[in-house]
Structure 1
Amino acid sequence: MTAVDLPVSPVGRALVVPDADALVVADVHLGKAVDSHVDAPIDDGRDVRDRLESLLARTEPETVVVAGDLLHSFNRLPRGVERDLAGLESVVDDAGASLVVTPGNHDTMLEGAFDGDTSPEYRLADGETVVCHGHEEPDLEADRYVVGHDHPALSVEGRKLPCFLYGPEVYEGADVIVCPAFTRLASGATVNGMSSRDFQSPLVADPNSFHPVVWDDSSGEPLWFPPLGECRRLL
């Protein structure tokens, strides 16, 4: 497992872009616990808020960007979402950061709950990185796209671990980084056996070229794996 030299760095389930002074998270899915109509093992609103607060203290970004699916809603707002969203906004504001949301396919009710900055695609301050949800092809040109949408996870020795996917020059010559779901209520899509037709994002046309990256809590470092086309045979 060899690290790749990149101007971005996974931390937990978030991505730090130092040159842009930004922190990116994807697929927060506030309201998923209530909307699932089952007893959830965690309070997703509080869990998201607490983990984001910890990341903000650690990374001190100027901007927090949500790469889509901040909410888990289609035709109504699940109970408690407005409270949880206000708590998340408060945590970002208390850290002295600004919050930007690039709406995803689950954010159809976002306008009724969030009056902050939104954009279908958001170019970070480094000028090279564009953040979007990834469910549609982007309009903005970039050297690097950071997306969510597919909730990638890697199965390692029987354990299913949320992972990033890094694809060098895989989309019209640009790099693509797929972030794992920030919510811990999403089980994730196990990428070990997935082919291109199994991915929902049009930015992932050749998954064999993507490196899985897993955050290791014990070492506090990301673990890099060979490209999927190679590591499928090893795992």
Structure 2
Amino acid sequence: MGSFKGKSVLVMGGSRGIGAAIVRRFAKEGAAVHFTYAGNTAAAEAIAKETGGKAAKVDSADRKAVTAYVASCGALDILVVNAGVVEFGDPTTLAPEAVERLFAINIHAPYFAAVEAAKTMRDNGRILIIGSINGDMMPFPGLTSYAVSKSAVQGLARGLSRDLGPRGITVNVVQPGPVDTDMNPADGPMKDMMQSGLSIKRHGHVDEVAAMVAFLAGPDAGFITGAMHTIDGGMGA
């Protein structure tokens, strides 16, 4: 361990689930980690105390708040955008305001955070966005707006990989399938439906996603960019 010693890392959405696992992984390997959270101050403070990271409450739907906080972190080596929301239901009846907020958090925030970070990011830096297998496929109804948002960040990674490639900065998307979190528990009501489509009949673990993020952020992944990296137990096979 220690491959990120001296590196400056920002994780947008790092107080629970996949984000907390990513914060823990980078901190364990020696990075100085900043992370944002949306609402649970107690959870964020607990992760900060455990890892030595610095937590900040930032509304990812607020573009000005996102860019101001990213700028305040100074020159980063690694940016991970994990913050995201889901709206489930018939698209003809979902509240337009809820969908607009989803797009602001899942599409606008990754774009503006990445662009702001790129202004001062050190050469050979890393930008990673946590997408979803639903950016590639949608096996059931009710998640149209979510699928739109996760497809959009694929275009973001491809485009920015061209724009930032001359500086050695890589831009990639990590696309989990079902992962055991409080938003999608392995023993939840959708367990059987989700696991029926998997080759490996279980939910993924947050540490498995964090491990993929750590690899793509590390020194062995300097020639990997503009790509989607699926970790879904075979859901999309």
- Shorter-chain TM-score bucket reads 0.3 to 0.5
Higher strand proportion (structure 1 or 2): 1
Q: What's the TM-score, normalizing by structure 1?
A: 0.33
The structure whose residues are more often helix, as a share, is 2
